[in-house]
């Protein structure tokens, strides 16, 4: 028999607690973002009943129906945001974790002003792996982007987010988590850190993650059509 969603969620919570203890942190400093991409609204409901309150989706289009259906939870966009989807994203999401350019920040700020959205919470996505295929601002361009956002009226910067390169061996990811924390300490002392997924969130917590984005460990394997 496979575990139920409620059991998997409670298993994840337990691992969060243990990792936090190991790092001398409190589990309630860590926000669990349940990544529901590819899964239907019915499964999101099940997660809500099991106590999940924050959800992550990586596509605006796919999230739309679920957000309409599931109320009273917080929705985070964790996938790359194309400029032509920015307005819809502003209308749908509570938090956009993937701001990675001045152009996108500028567009979001303008849309917020037009739509009368006073405060849009965002993270800046940083790419420390220099991977051509990944989105995220480089370390070099980060200060300019932070400065730009600091001058925006509507964008409220919560912190930094990253999707590090994938390694089977989680210890190889640790330096990326650590580096992001160092950058945060230097540039954004009160900032949050969104890092860590199903296979490496305990290491991310040890390195200071405040938001972990966990899909598979809660919802099971994804099937892509």
Ligand X SMILES: *Cc1c(COP(=O)(O)O)cnc(C)c1O
Residues that bind ligand X (CB under 6 A): 35, 37, 58, 78-79, 163, 197-198, 213-217
Kindly tell me which of 186 and 223 has the beta carbon lying closer to ligand X.
Answer: 223
Quote the least distance from Cβ 201 to ligand X, whole Å.
8
Q: Return the H-helix or E-strand segment holding 12.
A: helix 5-22
Kindly tell me which of 128 and 214 has the beta carbon lying closer to ligand X.
Answer: 214
Kindly tell me which of 96 and 154 has the beta carbon lying closer to ligand X.
Answer: 96
Distance between CA 44 and CA 183 in Å, rounded? 34
Quote the least distance from Cβ 194 to ligand X, whole Å.
8
Quote the least distance from Cβ 147 to ligand X, whole Å.
25
DSSP letters of 11-80? HHHHHHHHHHHHTT--GGG-EEEEE-TTS-HHHHHHHHHTT--EEEES-HHHHHHHHHHS-SSEEEE-S-
Quote the least distance from Cβ 193 to ligand X, whole Å.
13
Distance between CA 45 and CA 55 in Å, rounded? 11
Chain position whose Cβ is nearest to ligand X = 215
Kindly tell me which of 35 and 60 has the beta carbon lying closer to ligand X.
Answer: 35
């Amino acid at each position: 028999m496979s575990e139920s969603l409620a059991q998997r969620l409670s298993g994840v919570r337990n691992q969060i607690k243990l990792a936090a203890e190991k790092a001398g942190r409190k589990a309630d400093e860590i926000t669990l973002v349940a990544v529901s991409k590819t899964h239907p609204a019915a499964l999101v409901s099940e997660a809500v009943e099991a106590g999940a309150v924050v959800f992550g989706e990586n596509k605006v289009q796919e999230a739309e129906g679920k957000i309409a259906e599931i109320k009273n939870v917080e929705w985070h966009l964790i996938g790359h945001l194309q400029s032509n989807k920015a307005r819809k994203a502003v209308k749908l999401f509570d938090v956009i974790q993937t701001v990675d350019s001045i152009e996108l920040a500028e567009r979001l700020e303008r849309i917020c002003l037009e739509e009368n959205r006073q405060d849009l919470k965002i993270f800046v996505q940083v790419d420390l792996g220099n991977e051509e295929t990944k989105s995220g601002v480089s370390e070099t361009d980060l200060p300019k982007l932070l400065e730009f956002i600091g001058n925006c009226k509507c964008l409220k910067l919560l912190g930094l987010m990253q999707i590090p390169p994938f390694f089977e061996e989680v210890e190889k990811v640790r330096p990326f988590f650590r580096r992001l924390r160092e950058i945060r300490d230097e540039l954004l002392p009160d900032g949050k850190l969104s890092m860590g997924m199903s296979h490496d969130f305990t290491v991310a917590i040890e390195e200071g993650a405040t938001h972990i984005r966990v899909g598979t460990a809660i919802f099971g394997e994804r099937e892509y059509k």
